[in-house]
Structure 1
Amino acid sequence: MASAVEIDAMRRALLLARRGPRGLNPQVGAVILSPAGDVLAEGFHRGAGTPHAEVDALSQLASGEARGSTAVVTLEPCNHTGRTGPCALALIEAGVARVVYALDDPTDAAAGGADRLRAAGVDVENGVEADAAAALVHDWVTLQRTGRPHVTVKWAQSLDGRAAAADGSSQWITGPDARRDVHARRAQADAIVAGTGTVRSDDPALTARSDDGSLLEHQPVPVIVGASETAPDAAVRRHPHAPLFYATHDLRAVLADLAGRGVQRVFVEGGPTVASAFLREGLADEVLVYVAPVLIGGSRLALGDIGVASIADARRLVVASIQNLGDDLVIVAHPADDRSAPAPLGADAAPDTRGDA
């Protein structure tokens, strides 16, 4: 059983892990404790090709200084050679006596580090702060399991399920609190997806902004999908990140390319056509719906055809949370066959009430 000192060290390792970039590799943190429980070194993974968290921490110690120590790591030490060597072997060679980790590595290539450590006589404890570690790397795990990023499909609607009025106007169905929440969630994504139709009609900036209109620190990469051309003076072309344009309707190909670029979390915010396409293809891991207590009527539905011909084909969801945002509601749900979805991300920023959502 992990000691209180080791649990505290794991919580510190989880904070360290968040310093690393999201990408093709998981965010991992490590803390090395002396036999007396003092912190000897800390480390985290700084990106593909760089030392893993355990080796990063060990590199700060003199030869022999780690002997008899405890390594506290957020993910099972790897057991394979890629751009770097096996972390399990590095810990063994450093003389680490005990390893405490949170999650088993889900990849076939890297798993087995715990068994290698035990075979070498190292005491191993796993499952410490596992829920927090799972939430941290959930999107990366989705990438390993499915070969594509985690996809959140978002839309805003009236109480009767409309996305716009008869004249096409939709700003604003929801109030400022809901729009603030949208911007905070954009800032937590790696990429934001819209269709060429939405870009042409609404000219969205696809940025994450604060209440005063300034850009939040993290910005998702804008992704535009569709065969139509985007105007040279479109707002999205002034985004801090160069937009990615995909002249295709093959969403799986788009997601595969984004995965190859290290994108882990995709936020789909492109209007009814794009939202319906992701749902129809079964590519939505999470649905985010903002509901305003207004009635609009008419034919401009928030969703179009999603491939449901009869009630037996209806896409069943599990509601993860329902939250009041001013006068509006935000509902977070995920497919009924995927109960591994993480807790919904909260709005921890104060974005611009003039958002594109």
Structure 2
Amino acid sequence: MPRDGARGRERRALAEAIAVSRSALGVSTPNPPVGAVVLDAAGAVVGRGATEAPGGRHAEVVALDAAGESARGGTLVVTLEPCDHHGRTGPCTARALDSGVARVVYAVSDPNPVAAGGAATLRRAGVDVARGDDDEVSAAENGPLRAWLHRQAHGRPFVTWKYAASLDGRVAAADGSSKWITGPDSRRHAHARRQEIDALVVGTGTLTADDPALTARLDHGGLAARQPLRAVMGLTDVPAGAAVRGDDGRFRHLATRDPAEALAMLGDVCHVLVEGGPRLAGAFLAAGLVDEVEAYLAPLVLGDGRPAVSGAGVTTLAGAHGFTLRETTVLSTDIHLRMTARPTEGTR
């Protein structure tokens, strides 16, 4: 085992690897958004990297390529166990062995039976391999890997329901006006989140009312480099001139009213953001398919108007959908809340 000082450097490297892996969100799917950091034999950071788009390099390879010969005798720190199979690229275990690293530290064991086994392969080759402590594993599991791990465990995407509302839960006033309930900081935050998810879904009601583009935009109004797949769910045809269609081929019409079927129609995406109106939100809630809620609350009371959700399948307080508060952020005059669902038997 390394000395306390070396272990401290490894912990810092793993925290950095988790942070680096955020750049793979919205890019790496269906591959996991992994981050890696290489320490040389003296413990200095000499390489870092995140998973590239499918067909590109895995995080370990990006980091080891950056480190070059400085990796020899050093430590590879990675958020997910290095893969041990030939896919579009070769196994990361082989690249690690070729680099000459003496030690590999990883946080999360790979749950994919096709890719798993990397730790054992490295140990058999004489590499010192260690898994992170419980808190390091938890940080990685609840970081950028979260949606990918959910897909591996449940066979469907991780679903976040996002809405912006007044304090009394209204997403539009009685006259239908809704722009803008929340302020520019909330909108900036929401557009940053759009860049990190794989697909964004609205219903045909929202399409008809707002003709949204569903793009991720930068502060100056231009398009961000990373764009989610844009999807409209419902049986109503999407007009040829609808803004959501765009011209980049990243549009999908999910011709169904069944949330589970809609998710299946999205293919191998890992993280879906539901931004539709009250009925779409209610349908996903009633189906037990909301894993997380992101609420942007403005310091306004409208009294009347359109509620944030309807038709959620709840008739009594005991049957309410329960969530656990995970994060609170003040965005100028607004508040952003992130909550995760409390698992209910039979709904996962």
TM-score by length of 1: 0.80
Q: 2:254 aligned to 223, 246, 252, which one?
A: 246
> What is the aligned counterpart of 1:28 among 28, 34, 38?
34
Residue 138 of structure 1 corresponds to which residue in structure 2? 146
Query: Are residues 1:126 and 2:131 paired?
Result: yes
State the 1:120 CA deviation: 3.8
Alpha-carbon distance between aligned partners in 2 of 1:35 and 1:333, rounded to the nearest angstrom:
42
**What's the CA shift for 1:218?**
2.6
Bigger relative contact order (CA 8 A; separation at least 6)? 1
Structure 2 match to 1:355 = none
Corresponding residue SS for 2:205 = helix
- Which residue is equivalent to 1:175? 183
Match for 1:100 among 83, 101, 105?
105
What is the SS of the residue equivalent to 1:232?
A: coil
User: Residues 22 and 264 of structure 1 are in contact (CA less than 8 Å); yes or no, is this contact kept in structure 2?
Assistant: no
Q: State the match for 1:296 in structure 2.
A: 302
For the pair 1:328 / 2:339, whether they are aligned, the reply is no
Residues 91 and 174 from structure 1, CA distance in 2 versus in 1: closer, same or farther, beyond 3 angstroms?
Answer: closer
Specify whether residues 218 and 42 from structure 1 end up closer, same or farther in structure 2 by C-alpha distance, changes over 3 A only: closer
Pairing of 1:141-156 with structure 2 (within 5 A) = 141-156=149-164
SS at match of 2:260: helix
What TM-score comes out, normalization by structure 2 length?
Answer: 0.82
1:42 CA drift (Å): 5.5
Say which is worse superposed, 80-89 or 163-172, in terms of deviation: 80-89
Describe how 1:150-299 pairs up with structure 2 within 5 A.
Answer: 150-238=158-246, 242-260=250-268, 263-298=269-304
Q: For structure 1, which segment, 35-44 or 234-243, has the greater mean C-alpha deviation from structure 2 after superposition?
A: 35-44
CA distance in 2, matches of 1:9, 1:330: 29
Distance 1:42 1:194, change over 3 A: closer
The answer to whether the 8 Å contact 1:152/1:288 transfers is yes
Alignment of 1:330-349 (within 5 A): 330-337=336-343
Contact 1:192 1:267 in 2 (8 A): yes
Shift of 1:203: 1.4
2:82 matched residue in structure 1: 77
Structure 1 residues 9 and 321 mapped into 2: Cα distance closer, same or farther (>3 Å)? closer
CA drift of 1:200 comes to 0.8
Contact 1:102 1:127 in 2 (8 A): yes
RMSD across aligned C-alpha pairs, in angstroms? 3.1
Indicate the SS of the match to 1:290: strand
Deviations, residues 283-336 of structure 1 (Å, cap 9, x unaligned): 111112222333333463221111112222111111112333333332221112
Counterpart amino acid of residue 106 in structure 1: P
Whole-angstrom distance in 1 between the partners of 2:67 and 2:180:
57
Bigger drift between 44-53 and 319-328 goes to 44-53
Alpha-carbon spacing, 1:49–1:294, altered in 2? closer, same or farther (3 Å):
closer
Contact 1:227 1:247 in 2 (8 A): yes
Shift of 1:130: 3.9
Q: What residue in structure 1 maps to residue 54 of structure 2?
A: 48
Q: Give 5+ residue unaligned stretches, structure 2.
A: none
Deviations 1:96-121 (A, max 9, x none): 43212232223233233223333443
Count of residue correspondences: 335
Q: Which amino acid aligns with 1:311?
A: L
What letter matches 2:254 in structure 1? Y
Bigger mean CA deviation after superposition, 97-106 or 122-131: 122-131
Letter in 2 for 1:256: A
- What is the Cα deviation at residue 37 of structure 1? 4.2
Question: How far apart are 1:23 and its partner, in Å?
Answer: 0.5
C-alpha distance 308-105 of structure 1, shift in aligned 2 (>3 A): same
Comparing 43-52 with 135-144, greater Cα deviation is found at 43-52
Q: Which residue of 2 aligns with 1:353?
A: none
- The range that moved more, 251-260 or 136-145, is 251-260
1:167 to 1:100, Cα distance in 2 relative to 1, 3 A: same
Give the match for residue 354 of structure 1.
Answer: none
Share of identical aligned residues, percent? 47
User: Residue 269 of structure 1: CA displacement?
Assistant: 0.9
Separation of aligned partners in 2, 1:288 and 1:163 = 14
Would you say 1:319 and 2:325 are equivalent positions?
A: yes
Task: Name the SS for the 1:140 alignment partner.
Answer: helix
Secondary structure at 1:294 match in 2: coil
